[in-house]
Amino acid sequence: MKVSLQLKLSQQLTMTPQLQQAIRLLQLSTLDLQQEIQQALDSNPMLESEEDASDEQNKTDDNSEAASSDQNNSTSEADANLNSQSADSNTEQPTSDAEGSADSTEGDWSENIPDELPVDSNWDDVYQSSSGPSLGNGEDSDFDFESRNTSSETLYDHLIWQLNLTPMSDTDQLIAMAVIDAIEPNGMLSLSPEEILESFDAELEIELDEVEAVRHRIQLFDPVGVASTDLRECLLVQLRQLKENTPWRHEAMLVVDKYLHLLGNHDYTQLMRRTRLKEPQLKEAIQLIQTLQPRPGEQIDSSETEYIAPDVFVKKVEDRWIVELNPDIAPKLRINSNYASLVKRADNSTDNTYLRDNLQEARWFLKSLQSRNETLMKVSIRIVEHQRGFLDYGEEAMKPLVLHDIAEAVEMHESTISRVTTRKYMHTPRGIFELKYFFSSHVSTTSGGECSSTAIRAIIKKLVAAEDQRKPLSDNKITALLEEQGIKVARRTIAKYRESLSIPPSNERKRLV
């Protein structure tokens, strides 16, 4: 093989740091963008928030006004003292001790500050103590309401707290700790009592009856029914805790104890035959069972509420839909003119290079933010123009839409549209929706048109809500009803849409009316 040198010309697409930053900011959510902006404010001295700058300007103006007013007051006071000096020297005005102490307390505390304080003195003896925020019924009483009332207690912590308040022997305490450790977040027991028994040391000589006795005591903790091995036991524990004179308690216990599988299959004919209950009686017993908690641990919710800040607002003004960016999602930034004026073009010192680099980085950051807002605005306007039917009439009027349609309209790549619509939310009169929500595939109609999959889901939901609960609509029946409306959808597609809406099959939707 011969070794040789060759020259070759080629073109290669290289992403500049500015383009990389713009793409990264484009795909950030609102909360992530706020953190990114705060990080940029902390690290780059050339960036400042317009609110902070206005606050500093107001403080400067207030200080200048206070200085001028103090100067005028001092001049007037000097003139008054010169005019009244002769009169005060001839006459003396008696003052009481109370007035003198009040004057000294109110006027001299900020002036007579000693250089050193005795060791045994208190701060409040020398300086006025500032009162903290009011905890009464005033406006400041709920300033930290969410942090004071947010509960992050787990089911394990809740049970341990009750265990510490329950008198038990040391052995029972040990068994109770093992039982609580085996409880899942939904309240059910992950291990059988036999497996819990095997986890103890043989020298303790713990028997299965002791484990069961402690487990039954824990089942009466709040929430009632925890530490149960199956659904049947969990429901029975809750029913036994009801008062004996509770209506239909005995019938409900009979259904849960012996015929829970028939209830799960909605086989009401067999239930009435085996329990020898009439339809109204069985209906009342089932309604009582439905008030119970099949997963008692889910009542102790340790998750914190997450709030969504919409990126775009959509409202109707004079029969026109107006799209506006949310001005509160990000603070307004600008270049700090004081620091920017320190940059010298011909100076190559370390300090000047540092300022010049930060100034360039700040300009890129502001330009990337502006590009993000403009792109988000363009995409949102096109989505609203395409989905006016949804905004006016609801989900059934949703039109099919894909990323390629919006990309062509705004003359951008589909990947850019995907970044813009991910984790971005739009506030509409019908609620807050992610921008991805307005995109859906299409299904052909008999008239040659197209129907959105979102609209089909809305129609299925409407049909199921209006069905006869004694004879629910099957997937085949829903397919036939849609075909009558000119929408051709396969039965398996109906099943897929129904499952996405968390709608159970027809045999599980059957109810006693």
Q: Averaged over 172-184, what is the pLDDT?
A: 95
The closest of 38, 111, 44, 33 to 358, measured between CA atoms, is 44
Helix (H) or strand (E) holding 410: helix 403-410
The closest of 154, 297, 300, 160 to 234, measured between CA atoms, is 297
Domain residue ranges in the chain: 155-299, 312-500
Strands 425-428 and 431-434: antiparallel
Give the residue, 345 or 393, on which the prediction is more confident. Answer: 393
pLDDT above 90 as % of the chain: 44
Q: From start to end of 40-85, where are the E strands? A: 47-49
Token match 């299904």: residue?
443
Q: Which of 244-253, 269-278, 443-452 has the lowest average pLDDT? A: 443-452
Sign for the pseudo-dihedral over CA of 255, 259, 261, 263:
negative
Asked if residue 511 has pLDDT above 60, the reply is yes
pLDDT confidence of residue 54: 58
Asked if residue 85 has pLDDT above 60, the reply is no
| Contacts of 414-420 spanning 24+ positions with Cβ under 8 A | 416/26, 416/375, 417/379, 419/23, 419/26, 419/27, 420/26, 420/27, 420/375, 420/376, 420/379
Q: Averaged over 100-127, what is the pLDDT?
A: 44
pLDDT confidence of residue 439: 92
Alpha carbon distance 196, 192 (integer Å): 6
Predicted structure pTM score: 0.63
Other C-beta atoms closer than 10 Å to the C-beta of 83 total 9
pLDDT confidence of residue 22: 81
Asked if residue 134 has pLDDT above 50, the reply is no
Asked if residue 377 has pLDDT above 70, the reply is yes
The closest of 120, 78, 126, 123 to 104, measured between CA atoms, is 126
- Tell me how many helices (H) and strands (E) the chain has: 23, 8
pLDDT confidence of residue 138: 46
| Contacts of 436-440 spanning 24+ positions with Cβ under 8 A | 438/383, 438/386, 438/387, 438/390, 438/398, 438/401, 439/401, 439/402, 439/403, 440/398, 440/400, 440/401
What average pLDDT does the structure give for the chain?
Answer: 81
Asked if residue 30 has pLDDT above 60, the reply is yes
Alpha carbon distance 238, 444 (integer Å): 51
Asked if residue 47 has pLDDT above 60, the reply is yes
Tell me the pLDDT band of 70, cut-offs 50, 70 and 90.
Answer: low
Q: Averaged over 185-210, what is the pLDDT?
A: 92
